[in-house]
Amino acid sequence: MLLLAGAGRAGAAGGGAAVADIFIQAEKQRLIEHSEFQQYESAFAAWDELYETVMFMDAGANIGLLIRNVATASCWSKFVSKVDDLPDDVVKTDLKVFIQDVKSGEAIAGEITAISNRLDNLFAMPQTQPFINDLINFSTGNSGRIARFGDISTLKNTITNLIENPIVNNVKSYDLLINDIEHFMINYRSVPGALNYFDELLQTPLKFKGGAFGIEILSNPPPVLAGKTLIKLESGIDDIDNFRYDLMFEDGSGMKIFVETKNYSSGTGFTTSFYNQFKAYISNPQLENMDQLKYFFRSNDGVTKATQVKKFKNMMKSNAKELFESNPSLFRSIKKENGIDFIDDWDDLKTMMESPTISIDHPVFNFIEMF
Amino acid sequence: MKYRIIQTGINFFDLEINLMISNRKNILSIDTHLELTSIEDASKILSFNNEVVVLDSLNNGFLVGNGKFLQERILSYVNPFLLVYNKNPQYYAVYNKNLELILKDVHNFGRTLISSYIIDGIGASSNIRISNLNELEKTSAFPLYSLGTWPDGAVEKPYQVNEFCGIYNKTLVCTLNSGAVLLLDIEKGEIVKFIENAKFPRMLYVDNENENIYKGLFGRRYIELDVNIGVITREVIIEDQLRKLKGINDETVFWASIGRSYLYDGLFYFGIETNDIGIFDPVSAKVVDYHEFEFDKSKGQQLKGGKENLQVKDGIIYCLDTLGNLYELESEKLKS
């Protein structure tokens, strides 16, 4: 039986409740003939009162209004307490689901209010004003950007919708995420590429997911990046599923460190575009040492250094010649599995990647970091 | 700078022997573009005793017109020494010009050849080992771990050698991963000077081996190091010049820096990021010319790394990109 399809699926809410009402009324008619109806009567009355009070049909697709009306109706708590009196059948079960839906919807509505308040607070901070002003100015003349952050209100809606989007999983809770956004706005305004980076992460839920990981790393730099300066942000789309964010750091001696962030699930494979991007990093003439490259993977369920090393091994084994030749001096500075001799040619690289015994801590995998 | 593409499909070139490889097969003259020969999977060319030796991608050597050159694979040739290796059984060896065996070992004994010395210790090595190929009994070693560790951010790391830059008067000059510069006595294997705060991790050169002044252009600094006294005697910060070149104002975090530089005929030829080439004059401490390539990033096009892919002859720069385009750049400012 269809009742409310869940608080997150607004389209069926009003109609779903109306359909539910048809079944509830039918059940009432079936039971009314029985002597024990008296014990159920107050529960049916509570539903009727709720249904009339909340006016489900008038709520249409506005789930927020519907949930607010249901949860704040004076008869709501009475209805909740009476449902257990109903006989154990499918109507009772569905009404209990409905109650859970409303409660979780209420929690979501509460979270949306909290996000709204937190964003109001963020946008009112004097320290974030310069970045926000830059961002809004950056939207001028570009319809896509205007739709995302043409003014404060639009920016707020965009961020709220992205945080609430179910695709945006494997990110921190909204309050910590907004803390990271605050840190980014205050600290990286003058870093080249900051506005483009922020623009990109506001474009789609997938990009937001990737970008949120990047700004989390900036807020809590891992030990290998501690003390290094973020000097440039770059953004670009590899393919539909594989969004790329690049962070460029520099140490005290002027050595560059190129950082790639990947918020992957355990099932995410290394695609052709992932390989092309890796090859581009390897080909970079500034990359003279593997310590200058860092791929940060979020430690999502089933994502470990061992799983990522295995994927890199497969990818590098299949492309050993092309990778080696894109930067021979880089690979020739790495030692073989025996830790004594250097890689001399692409066949040595291939042999290393085929080895079942090579340690995940071998220096050739030093660029793979878990966060 | 005035520039043009002189050939496409190139995977290797060498101005000294005036040859280039196109399409991994055809050996052509750089001057005339005439084909000398073709060898499958050709990757590199060297000149040995006036003979042209073509290496394939697994370092097997072929003499033009005469087939296989040696049974071993070739690592490098620095006149008069030829460094080779074999896979099965594994060994490494050094020959002289007459192909007489000088040194052979089951494990690697270094790749860096400077005058008559072969030096081991680049990267993850616990020792620097120096062998004099003319007097093999005079081999010295320095334990890198004796330097302790250095803090890379919040991580303590062992010191590692990035480059062996040269030898002056029995002193080996090494740049380290921490940015320190180590001066070692090559006969005793002892520290002459450890310049811990040099902040110069690589790209230190000398005009000729009799010079005691080593010069380096890296990041946003030009330095001169007097190996005689182990002191940086000149330092010029060139950030303002680089800001102007890249059009970056004072309010923006400055990202541009020199990641690679090569010294030819007293001038530094350098690269900023991936696709820029400039010329720096150490005497005036000025960037005298500069060229920014406009490459197609969607094709992964960028300048190729490695000194062999940026060479200079008679003041003309030749460089290779990752798509196989060989460029010739001529500085009009330098000519005038």
Tens-place pLDDT, residues B202-260:
999 999 989 999 999 999 999 999 999 999 999 999 999 999 998 888 888 898 899 88
Measured between beta carbons, which residues in chain B are less than 8 angstroms from residue A239? none
pLDDT at B166 over 90: yes
> Which letter, b or e, does each residue of B138-175 get, where b requires 16 or more Cβ atoms within 10 Å of its Cβ?
ebbebebeebeebebbeeeeebbbbbbbbbbeebbbbb
CA A116, A117, A118, A124 torsion-angle sign: positive
Give mean pLDDT, residues A188-205: 93
Whether B75 and chain A come into contact, CB under 8 Å, resolves to: yes
Q: Provide the ipTM.
A: 0.93
Q: Is the link from the previous residue into A285 a cis peptide, with omega within 30 of 0?
A: no
Give the three-state DSSP class for A354. Answer: helix
At A5 the pLDDT is: 34
pLDDT at residue B143 greater than cutoff 60: yes
Per-residue pLDDT at B333: 84
**What is the average pLDDT score of chain A?**
85
A87 versus B34: the higher-pLDDT residue is B34
3-state secondary structure of A240: coil
- Residue A4 pLDDT more than 60? no
pLDDT of residue A235: 67
Mean pLDDT (whole number) for B120-139 = 93
3-state secondary structure string across chain B: CEEEEEECCEEEEECCCCEEEECCCEEEECCCCCEEEECCCEEEEEEECCEEEEEECCCEEEECCCEEEEEEEEEEEECCEEEEEEECCEEEEEECCCCCEEEEECCCCCCEEECCEEEECEECCCEEEEEECCEEEEEEEEEHHHHCEEEECCEEEECCEEEEEEEECCEEEEEECCCCEEEEECCCCEEEEEECCCCCCCCEECCCCCCCEEEEEEECEEEEEECCCCEEEEEEECHHHHHHHHCCCCCCCCCCCEEEEEEECCEEEEEECCCEEEEEECCCCEEEEEEECCCCHHHCCCECCCHHHEEEECCEEEEEECCCCEEEEECHHHHC
B162 contacts in chain A (CB < 8 Å): 288-289
In this complex, do A329 and B305 lie within 8 Å of one another by their Cβ atoms? yes
Res. B77: pLDDT tops 80: yes
Q: What is the pTM of this model?
A: 0.83
Residues 130..149 of B with a Cβ closer than 8 Å to A: which? none
Which residues of chain B have a CB within 8 Å of the CB of A346? 57-58
Report the pLDDT averaged over residues A177-198. 95
Confidence of residue A65 (pLDDT cuts 50, 70, 90): low
Q: What is the pLDDT of residue B134?
A: 94
Q: Which residue of A has its CA nearest to B302?
A: A284
The one-letter amino acid code at B249 reads N
The whole-angstrom distance between B75's CA and the closest CA on chain A is: 8
Beta-sheet strand order (sheet of B310-313): B2-7, B326-330, B316-320, B310-313
Chain A residues close to B309, C-beta within 8 Å:
285
CB atoms within 10 A of CB A338: 9
pLDDT band, residue A79 (cuts 50/70/90): confident
For chain A, the structural domain boundaries read: 10-106, 264-371
Distance CA A360, CA A341 (A): 18
| pLDDT for the residue B273 | 74
- Please check the confidence at residue A246 and state whether its pLDDT lies above 90: no
Q: CB B51: neighbour CB atoms within 10 A? A: 12
Per the CB < 8 A criterion, the answer to whether B210 and B227 are in contact is no
The answer to whether B119 and B110 have CB atoms below 8 angstroms apart is yes
| Average pLDDT rounded to a whole number, residues B276-298 | 93
Inter-chain touch A250–B179, beta carbons under 8 Å: no
| Interface contact flag, A283 B75, Cβ < 8 Å | no
Residue A14 in this model has a pLDDT that exceeds 80: no
Average of per-residue pLDDT across A98-121: 81
**B21 in Cβ contact with B53 (< 8 Å):** no
Report d(CA B96, CA B108) in Å as an integer.
Answer: 17
- pLDDT the model gives residue B153: 86
List, for residues A266-312, the tens digit of each pLDDT value: 888 899 989 988 998 898 888 888 999 999 999 999 999 999 999 99
Confidence tier at A61 by pLDDT (50, 70, 90): very low
**A220's tokens:** 């809590």
pLDDT for position A239:
36
